[in-house]
């Protein structure tokens, strides 16, 4: 079994490569936005506690602030992810959780 750090790094890498923020139809992947690690850290406990569901996932994403316009505006990550990415993230997390 991989260490917790290795597992988090693997989860963060998958999230960073596959999930993006949509701004004016421009896709900013979470790795490029430096948000993939924080999302992995928020989602990992849900996987361990078998608490993964869409509502729990969105609640965690809502608690991740994203600063825009040099700090003029702050929105939750949940508001910046298109519905397709939310679905993709849930599926990615379910697949990742099956590895345990």
pTM (2 decimals)? Answer: 0.91
Domain total of the chain: 1
pLDDT of 21 strictly over 90: yes
Query: Residue 97 has what pLDDT?
Result: 85
Which range marks the domain in which residue 35 is found? Answer: 4-97
**pLDDT tens, 25-36?**
999 999 999 999
> For residue 53, how many C-alpha atoms fall within 13 Å in the half-sphere facing its CB?
3
Q: What percent of the chain has pLDDT over 90?
A: 86
* Residues 6+ away with beta carbon under 8 Å from 76: 61, 62, 63, 64, 65, 66
pLDDT of 76 strictly over 90: yes
């Amino acid at each position: 079994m991989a260490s917790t750090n290795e597992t988090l790094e693997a989860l963060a890498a998958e999230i960073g490569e596959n999930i993006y923020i949509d701004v004016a139809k421009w896709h900013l992947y979470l790795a490029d936005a430096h948000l993939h690690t924080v999302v992995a850290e928020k989602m990992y406990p849900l996987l361990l506690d078998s608490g993964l569901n869409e509502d729990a996932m969105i609640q965690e994403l809502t608690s991740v602030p994203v600063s825009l316009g040099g700090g003029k505006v702050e929105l939750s990550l949940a508001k910046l992810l298109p519905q397709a990415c939310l679905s993709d993230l849930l599926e990615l997390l379910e697949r990742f959780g099956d590895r345990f």
